[in-house]
Homo-oligomer: A and B are copies of this chain.
Amino acid sequence: MINEQIKERIISIVGTENFDDSKVGRLTYSYDATPNFQALPDGVVSPRNTEEVAELVKVCNKHHIPVVPRGAGSNLCGGTCPTEGGLVFLFKHMNEILEIDEENLTATVQPGVITLDLINAVEAKGLFFPPDPGSMKTSTIGGNINENSGGLRGLKYGVTRDYVIALEIVLANGSIIRTGGKLAKDVAGYDFTRLYVGSEGTLGIVTEATLKLVPIPETKKTMLALYEDLEAAATTVSKIIANKIIPATLEFLDQATLKVVEDYAKIGLPTDAKAVLLIEQDGAPEVVERDIKKIADLCTEENAVSVQIAKTKAEAEALTTARRAALSALARLKPTTILEDATVPRSQVANMVKAINEIAEKYQLNICTFGHAGDGNLHPTVPTDARNKEEMERVEKAFEEIFEKAIELGGTITGEHGVGIMKAPYLELKLGQEGIAAMKAVKTALDPNNIMNPGKIFAKDSRKRVVIGQ
């Protein structure tokens, strides 16, 4: 708890205007984009620089006050819900792109920079920052780093982790360390850069990052292929890869999602198709031309009922809307949208989608599935209502079976959303007790007082999705 003395100390660090423990302020940051998790923090603080972050963390460490770093709160694992109270850290004053270094192909940023702002800023210089999470219009780079965010370009370009080459980190004891550098190669000690990417704020606070950039692809082409059966769509995905083509984007929507998207976006999608593949290739014009032609042939060979290659940028955007709008469209249906990201090896996508459909039927649920077919990262989504306890129980059971199936197929419980509090009870399925014990040992070593985003990643008990606080 934050008593008057601690409050005074915090204000002496950041100033009155950057500390808020009003009811409204606390309520505002009591939840994130994840449905069904809510808990009040004791206060909200907005440090202006790394030194202030370090001073604040020292205070929190001394008094065992939970520290919850928060970007835009757009994560989907309850990762920024202050489930144990404490101080929510905002980065609204630490939101500068500090440098775009065209000689070394790097960008150095503060954690509060909006992802799309960075993407636009580097593209203006002919450079490319590939990670493009669905939330990129609002998400921050700091949040992306904490969650190791993915996106639609992951198949060809990898995820956030693959583009973080240096970090400034405030440790739980308040010391400030720097990892990596503007270096393609650095093996001086353990790879703390990657250990911290995806650590969900549980090991320290990232206060600055240097990101690797690549030259922007010269051109891009977009196409949509419709199928009368799921199997054929999945076989097409495998065939594309078997033909040694790695598309920039290789996305999948099932019929249930397709119907919802068409109803929402009215882009003329044929809702009688059983599956849709959205495919993009980028690179040198000759290569893109050749790849797209080859991909179109493969789709036709696998009995796609329609293959449409966008002729203009506007047309391409209309096609990608089909995929980008999926979550918004689904979120309109019911008060609560539960979206998961069970992930399997690419070769198991068809088996996983079939299993999801069987589980949906078993539990009498409407599960819409879309996602990144190219990297086996699926988003089975249930439009539901958190107030309907009976249905919520079925949702829980269904997702538990989905996670178990993903693991059985060589997959994981989360491909890009993170564990947070939401998937903590299922982590053992993936890592086993010994894997969790090893990770907990690292957590304890770097945060002995368990102040850094406590309650995340590691489950306290077998409790599943529940409403906390309110």
A residues bordering B, Cβ < 8 Å? Answer: 101-105, 126, 147-148, 150, 154-155, 158-159, 161-162, 171, 175-179, 181-192, 194-195, 197-199, 203, 214-216, 238, 241-242, 244-246, 283-284, 286-287, 290, 343-347, 372, 374-377, 410-419, 423, 427, 430-432, 434-439, 441-446, 457
Contacts and interface: CB of A to CB of B under 8 A. Distances in A.
Contacts of A148: 187, 191
B183 A439 contact: no
Given A171-B438, A175-B434, 14 more contacts: A103-B238, A159-B185, A161-B194, A183-B345, A185-B375, A185-B415, A187-B418, A188-B427, A190-B457, A191-B197, A192-B435, A195-B195, A284-B284, A442-B442
Contacts of A437: 175
User: Taking each of A183, A187, A432, which has the highest tally of chain B beta carbons within 10 Å of its own beta carbon?
Assistant: A187
Contacts of A192: 435, 438-439
Nearest to A403: B188
A432 B185 CA distance: 19
B415 A187 contact: yes
Nearest to A243: B215
B439 A442 contact: no
Given A242-B102, A347-B104, A445-B441, A190 B183 contact: no
Q: How many copies does the complex hold?
A: 2
A161 B189 CA distance: 14
Contacts of A286: 284, 286-287
B181 A411 contact: yes
Contacts of A436: 189
A413 B103 contact: no
Nearest to A431: B189
A187 B446 contact: no
Nearest to A443: B190
Contacts of A441: 445-446
B416 A185 contact: yes
Contacts of A126: 244
25 contacts: A103-B242, A103-B347, A158-B184, A175-B434, A177-B432, A177-B438, A183-B344, A183-B412, A183-B415, A184-B346, A184-B375, A186-B343, A186-B414, A187-B414, A189-B419, A189-B435, A189-B436, A189-B457, A190-B443, A192-B435, A192-B438, A215-B246, A284-B287, A284-B290, A438-B446
Nearest to A437: B175
Contacts of A190: 195, 198-199, 203, 439, 442-443, 457
Contacts of A343: 183, 185-186
Return the 4 tightest CB-CB contacts between A and B, nearest first: A215-B244, A184-B375, A445-B445, A185-B415
A192 to B, nearest CB: 7
Contacts of A423: 188
Nearest to A287: B284
Nearest to A372: B185
Contacts of A189: 419, 427, 430-431, 435-436, 439, 457
A180 to B, nearest CB: 8
A430 B190 CA distance: 12
B159 A241 contact: no
Contacts of A197: 191
B188 A431 contact: yes
A190 B185 CA distance: 22
Contacts of A347: 101, 103-104
A182 B432 contact: no
Contact of A195 (B179, B191, B415): B191
Contacts of A238: 103
A188 B438 contact: no
